[in-house]
Amino acid sequence: MDQLGSTLNKEISMPELPEVETVRRSLLPLVKNKVITAINTNWEKILINGLATFQKEIVGSEITTIDRRGKYLLMRLSNGETIISHLRMEGRYYVVKDASTPFDKHDHVTFTFQDGSQLRYRDLRKFGRMRLIKTGQEDQVPALAKLGPEPTPHTFDETEFARRLKRHHKPIKSVLLDQTVVAGVGNIYADEVLWLSRLNPLQPADTLKSK
């Protein structure tokens, strides 16, 4: 396993937007422009469309890039398909240069490339999922279609965010965790934001005032 592969393989508990973005940036140079020659799994539930569909649709295609939306990775393929991957609690990817490298017992999905290397998906609890969909039709996946804006400088609108908060009487922390309000925030970053803002996590969102 190479150094970047080792980085991708480290333990991440409940990955949130920054962690998933780190995975995306680390993984992309390892797999970009590689041609998939095989995909196999020992736990087919991870592949929502089923192994046969994945084998039929992606073998022979090339990974052109990897995007991200919220906590989802979007692997773009040269044949117009996209693999939507959610790591859930403990899912992670790593790359081996030689397919003969021994497997870990928690490696459940393997993508083999034309150059003999492999992308392996490891998931102790088997909670992660992958879905195959036509590129451009991501909104047909309800979880993606409902995602709110991301908390980044280029996508976040404070005025619109304030409007969204006013629609909810739930505790502010619960609202921050609502992926339809803001995408990619989990427990860790919600707690950090509230601590830095000196806000009680139980305060109703619609009672907050602008400063």
Ordered by start, the domain boundaries in the chain are: 3-138, 158-206
Q: What are the per-10-residue average pLDDT scores of the chain (211 residues)?
A: 38 74 97 98 98 98 97 98 96 96 97 98 97 96 93 90 94 96 94 95 93 69
> May I ask the CATH class of domain 158-206?
mainly alpha
Contacts of 127 (CB under 8 A, 6+ apart): 88, 89, 90, 91
Residue 3 is predicted with a pLDDT of 33
Residue 14 is predicted with a pLDDT of 59
- Label residues 134-172 b or e (16+ Cβ within 10 Å = b): eeeebeebebbeebbbbbeeeeeeeeeeeebbeeeebbb
Residue 51 is predicted with a pLDDT of 98
Residue 155 is predicted with a pLDDT of 87
- Label residues 71-86 b or e (16+ Cβ within 10 Å = b): bbbbbbbeeebbbbbb
Q: Which residues belong to the active site? A: 15-16
Q: How far apart are CA 116 and CA 98, in angstroms?
A: 6
Residue 210 is predicted with a pLDDT of 77
- 3 state DSSP class of 174: helix
Outline where DSSP puts E strands in the chain.
36-41, 63-69, 72-77, 81-86, 92-96, 107-113, 118-122, 129-134
pTM above 0.95, yes or no: no
Residue 8 is predicted with a pLDDT of 40
8 Å CB contact between 69 and 138: yes
Residue 209 is predicted with a pLDDT of 86
Residue 69 is predicted with a pLDDT of 96
**Domain 3-138: which topology?**
N-terminal domain of MutM-like DNA repair proteins (3.20.190)
- 3 state DSSP class of 168: coil
Residue 108 amino acid letter: H
Residue position matching structure tokens 């934001």: 193
